[in-house]
Chains A and B, each alone.
Chain A
């Protein structure tokens, strides 16, 4: 594996730190831009909506930005086939509006969907709580076209909902943070929008009380599509989003009525807004926030949360953000950066969970690899990187193992 000729800085990329931004108009243009950068050893930071530019380890200071925003065409939408093909720069909100007209949708949530692009969502693999019941883009991607640093454009998959022709490059690039190639377009199988939804909120005095409630929400007949335990003004609130038809949801409501006397129920649009507000609050817009994503087994999530809260108790800080997603085994915790607090918390929580630093000031990233311990398969990952990006021009240093 060759080492890069460029230097990796200790700074997170931001738009104003990029030496310039190129905005090709076509997939071929993206491939050509990459080939030229590769030939001149110029590092490249691909950019979609730009909302997750701070995700990952710091990258090269001399990088140029490669904006995908001009690749903004819907290439194909067949509502009766439930398939969609879009260029990488199409905004999520535009996609959902288009599909919504036909009662369909893509299963993905993002902060600021008017800004977020489908390419960015694929590259970052960021998802919301609805993932519990509806899955992620990883589950519905059926084809992809990717521009590589050698100037090639490789497609994989197709525009049919079931396909095992050749290797799965769709999922290889999902969550690869644009470090193997730049997605120029992607195909999906879309889903129907449920006829009805509501969100049920239940205040719980102690986390341990949530355990019993969560257990009753496990049978598939009463299982929510999204589930979160949040902290609002110092109190825990369990929020569950249910989707389906009126008939089936009636049975769900009767079940919920047996669990508690005083609950709050948001219907329809109000329910959807609750979750989009939840997602919007996850934007990476506070440079002083340290935010971690902890992956734990769903069965141990409340105990793991208590451990995390205990650590904050020791340092005498109340985290501004704590979001528990019991269905998918994910805890998101955030606080205002203070050097000693940040160091103590990160060092401690890394002992008990898979931890990703979603956002943090540069000083924190200089100290910790945001992706956590290297996975056992890191050698294979390095070989993969070398195979697709031998000159290490794509987001150098930014992804796992500072690859």
Chain B
């Protein structure tokens, strides 16, 4: 039997024939994730396997180790940085069949879930008892908690409630040795949980997660404020934060977004506004009323042309609908889009937005903006048609300008989408060789054979083990120290 055939038959032995895909037509869907072709190369894996237990995954890891092929863990494939694509070939381990909420401990406010549980399902399930799972990425109707753990996902409400790493208490992980280990923030020792969260599937495969569930606040209000332009809306953001108010969410949308969203979803955004802010305030009922009044006053003072608030579930959902469906509405404007994810210091929002529009003009590309203004987390969305080569080239070039600018003014490469393959080429903009060497130390610890999700995070050509050794040697020599 040829090596690939033996691999397939071994995988079938472990997970069952129906759980292993290996024909080119079956694998077509696994060549992609949610990221943009061009920014991320597509690739076909050798096989995709859909296991149902940690034991099966441990077996799969041992097979991959023996055959020396990579393993790419995958959730719902909604990621936007190419993290679930098999750029170096190998086996995609899709965790979508491990989708059970194993147990919920309301008294201690935790839930034990399998990685394939859909984010929103956990909130819906625990919502019956007045709880929710706080990380709420826009893809929450589709994305999995395992994927959230891999990417350290955020969402609008992480402004107040924190990102995924703030809500993970423990993980069951299949390691590169094919062992199943439990790691926990509650045990003594190093915080391996935090190392795994956000590691983009490069350190192991998460097979269970113990997560925190959060009690729903007594009252929630949403304020919609329309502004003449981004500048004035940004001033309102700064003023709200400056008043010591931490909203549950603080979102901004610009003209282009409003004009795409409003005709489609009728959320009540004024079509002539230059920017719309959505401010969600939650907490004790009396506090919420008082804070809302303050926020409304701040918005009016910052020249808001219209301020409305909603407290009932239906009204709030309508105001949010436009924001949550914004990306879906972009199909009305262009066949394709490239959704960016960068972060700048909040006070740098006005100048950053000016630069974004300058880039749009320079490259003759429409750019729509809907973003987490409270976090300074931008999501410029470049609209294009992928069949037009020149547009694709302009999008990629404009992206470089955008990312570089955000880093130059003190920002970050990514706030919640991850580095993946999309931004690995930019890592050296932010991190020098010593920084990368420290990160490589983590990779070496967990996965010295570089089996899990290769070609991610680290710049192309970077070899975790050797570079660290070389670096150490170079430094030692600089100090006149030689090995004894």
Chain A contacts to B: CB under 8 angstroms: 32, 35-36, 39, 78-83, 103-104, 135, 138-139, 146, 148, 150-156, 158-172, 174-176, 180-181, 191-193, 195, 218-221, 223, 244-245, 247-252, 295, 297-299, 329, 354, 356, 371-372, 374-378, 380-381, 383-384, 387-388, 399-401
**B461 beta carbon closer than 8 Å to chain A:** no
30 CB contacts below 8 A, A to B, read A80-B346, A81-B347, A81-B376, A82-B241, A150-B475, A152-B438, A154-B438, A158-B410, A160-B376, A160-B411, A161-B376, A163-B415, A164-B152, A164-B418, A169-B438, A169-B439, A171-B165, A176-B190, A181-B438, A221-B217, A244-B283, A248-B284, A295-B186, A356-B188, A375-B184, A375-B188, A377-B182, A378-B189, A383-B445, A401-B189
Tell whether, in the assembled complex, residue A381 and residue B189 are in contact, meaning their CB atoms are under 8 Å apart: yes
The answer to whether residues A384 and B347 also contact, given A162-B412, A164-B417 and a CB cut-off of 8 A, is no
Measured between beta carbons, the chain A residues less than 8 angstroms from B416 are 162, 164
Tell whether, in the assembled complex, residue B190 and residue A83 are in contact, meaning their CB atoms are under 8 Å apart: no
Chain B residues with a Cβ closer than 8 Å to the other chain, count: 90
Q: How far apart sit A297 and B105, CA to CA, in the bound complex (Å)?
A: 10
Q: How far apart sit A244 and B423, CA to CA, in the bound complex (Å)?
A: 41
Q: For the complex, would chain B's binding face be called helix, strand, loop or mixed by DSSP majority?
A: mixed
User: A80, A174, A374 — which one has the most chain B CB atoms within 10 A of its CB?
Assistant: A80
The answer to whether residues A245 and B287 also contact, given A152-B437, A167-B198 and a CB cut-off of 8 A, is yes
Q: How far apart sit A180 and B189, CA to CA, in the bound complex (Å)?
A: 11
Measured between beta carbons, the chain B residues less than 8 angstroms from A354 are 186-188
Tell whether, in the assembled complex, residue A148 and residue B438 are in contact, meaning their CB atoms are under 8 Å apart: yes
Q: Ordered nearest first, which 4 A-B pairs have the shortest CB separation? A: A154-B438, A171-B194, A248-B284, A248-B287
Measured between beta carbons, the chain A residues less than 8 angstroms from B165 are 168, 171
Tell whether, in the assembled complex, residue B158 and residue A172 are in contact, meaning their CB atoms are under 8 Å apart: no
Q: How far apart sit A166 and B472, CA to CA, in the bound complex (Å)?
A: 21
**B199 beta carbon closer than 8 Å to chain A:** yes
B147 CB, nearest partner CB in chain A, Å: 13
Interface string of B353-376 (1 = CB under 8 A from A): 000000000000000000010011
**Apart from A162-B375, A247-B289, A295-B186: 10 A-B pairs, beta carbons within 8 A:** A32-B479, A159-B410, A162-B343, A164-B418, A172-B442, A220-B218, A245-B287, A299-B105, A383-B445, A387-B441
**B197 beta carbon closer than 8 Å to chain A:** yes
Q: How far apart sit A393 and B240, CA to CA, in the bound complex (Å)?
A: 48
Which A residue sits closest to B284, measured CB to CB? A248
192-233 of chain B: CB within 8 A of chain A: 192, 194-195, 197-199, 215-218
172-196 of chain B: CB within 8 A of chain A: 175, 181-184, 186-192, 194-195
465-484 of chain B: CB within 8 A of chain A: 468, 471-472, 475-476, 478-479, 481, 484
Measured between beta carbons, the chain B residues less than 8 angstroms from A219 are 215, 218
Q: How far apart sit A275 and B379, CA to CA, in the bound complex (Å)?
A: 42
Measured between beta carbons, the chain A residues less than 8 angstroms from B246 are 191-192
Residue from the list B218, B242, B289 in contact with A221, Cβ < 8 A:
B218
Q: How far apart sit A54 and B194, CA to CA, in the bound complex (Å)?
A: 26
**B457 beta carbon closer than 8 Å to chain A:** yes
Q: How far apart sit A139 and B410, CA to CA, in the bound complex (Å)?
A: 21
Residue from the list A80, A81, A151 in contact with B476, Cβ < 8 A:
A151
Tell whether, in the assembled complex, residue B414 and residue A103 are in contact, meaning their CB atoms are under 8 Å apart: no
Measured between beta carbons, the chain A residues less than 8 angstroms from B443 are 167
Tell whether, in the assembled complex, residue B442 and residue A169 are in contact, meaning their CB atoms are under 8 Å apart: yes
**B344 beta carbon closer than 8 Å to chain A:** yes
Tell whether, in the assembled complex, residue A192 and residue B245 are in contact, meaning their CB atoms are under 8 Å apart: yes
Which B residue sits closest to A297, measured CB to CB? B108
Tell whether, in the assembled complex, residue A172 and residue B190 are in contact, meaning their CB atoms are under 8 Å apart: yes
Q: How far apart sit A193 and B183, CA to CA, in the bound complex (Å)?
A: 34
Q: How far apart sit A174 and B484, CA to CA, in the bound complex (Å)?
A: 33
**B309 beta carbon closer than 8 Å to chain A:** no
A96 CB, nearest partner CB in chain B, Å: 16
B475 CB, nearest partner CB in chain A, Å: 4
**B286 beta carbon closer than 8 Å to chain A:** yes
Q: How far apart sit A380 and B284, CA to CA, in the bound complex (Å)?
A: 44
Q: How far apart sit A276 and B186, CA to CA, in the bound complex (Å)?
A: 25
A81 CB, nearest partner CB in chain B, Å: 4
Measured between beta carbons, the chain A residues less than 8 angstroms from B154 are 162, 164
User: B175, B186, B434 — which one has the most chain A CB atoms within 10 A of its CB?
Assistant: B434
Tell whether, in the assembled complex, residue B471 and residue A150 are in contact, meaning their CB atoms are under 8 Å apart: yes
Residue from the list A78, A193, A384 in contact with B345, Cβ < 8 A:
A78
A352 CB, nearest partner CB in chain B, Å: 15
**B336 beta carbon closer than 8 Å to chain A:** no
Q: How far apart sit A380 and B105, CA to CA, in the bound complex (Å)?
A: 29
Tell whether, in the assembled complex, residue A247 and residue B290 are in contact, meaning their CB atoms are under 8 Å apart: yes
Q: How far apart sit A401 and B190, CA to CA, in the bound complex (Å)?
A: 11
A62 CB, nearest partner CB in chain B, Å: 17
Q: How far apart sit A342 and B333, CA to CA, in the bound complex (Å)?
A: 73
114-144 of chain B: CB within 8 A of chain A: none
Which A residue sits closest to B441, measured CB to CB? A387
Q: How far apart sit A153 and B471, CA to CA, in the bound complex (Å)?
A: 11
Residue from the list B184, B238, B412 in contact with A165, Cβ < 8 A:
B412
Which A residue sits closest to B291, measured CB to CB? A245
Q: How far apart sit A70 and B55, CA to CA, in the bound complex (Å)?
A: 52
**B444 beta carbon closer than 8 Å to chain A:** yes
Tell whether, in the assembled complex, residue A151 and residue B444 are in contact, meaning their CB atoms are under 8 Å apart: no
Tell whether, in the assembled complex, residue A168 and residue B192 are in contact, meaning their CB atoms are under 8 Å apart: no
Which A residue sits closest to B448, measured CB to CB? A383
Tell whether, in the assembled complex, residue B412 and residue A158 are in contact, meaning their CB atoms are under 8 Å apart: yes
A75 CB, nearest partner CB in chain B, Å: 12
Tell whether, in the assembled complex, residue A166 and residue B427 are in contact, meaning their CB atoms are under 8 Å apart: yes
Tell whether, in the assembled complex, residue B241 and residue A168 are in contact, meaning their CB atoms are under 8 Å apart: no
User: B189, B410, B414 — which one has the most chain A CB atoms within 10 A of its CB?
Assistant: B189
Which B residue sits closest to A79, measured CB to CB? B242
Tell whether, in the assembled complex, residue B413 and residue A165 are in contact, meaning their CB atoms are under 8 Å apart: yes
Q: How far apart sit A58 and B375, CA to CA, in the bound complex (Å)?
A: 43
Tell whether, in the assembled complex, residue B472 and residue A151 are in contact, meaning their CB atoms are under 8 Å apart: yes
Measured between beta carbons, the chain B residues less than 8 angstroms from A160 are 343-345, 375-376, 410-412, 415
Which B residue sits closest to A369, measured CB to CB? B188
User: A78, A79, A146, A168 — which one has the most chain B CB atoms within 10 A of its CB?
Assistant: A168
Q: How far apart sit A306 and B411, CA to CA, in the bound complex (Å)?
A: 51
Tell whether, in the assembled complex, residue B195 and residue A400 are in contact, meaning their CB atoms are under 8 Å apart: no
Tell whether, in the assembled complex, residue B192 and residue A377 are in contact, meaning their CB atoms are under 8 Å apart: yes
**B446 beta carbon closer than 8 Å to chain A:** yes
**B314 beta carbon closer than 8 Å to chain A:** no
The answer to whether residues A156 and B435 also contact, given A162-B343, A162-B375, A376-B182 and a CB cut-off of 8 A, is yes
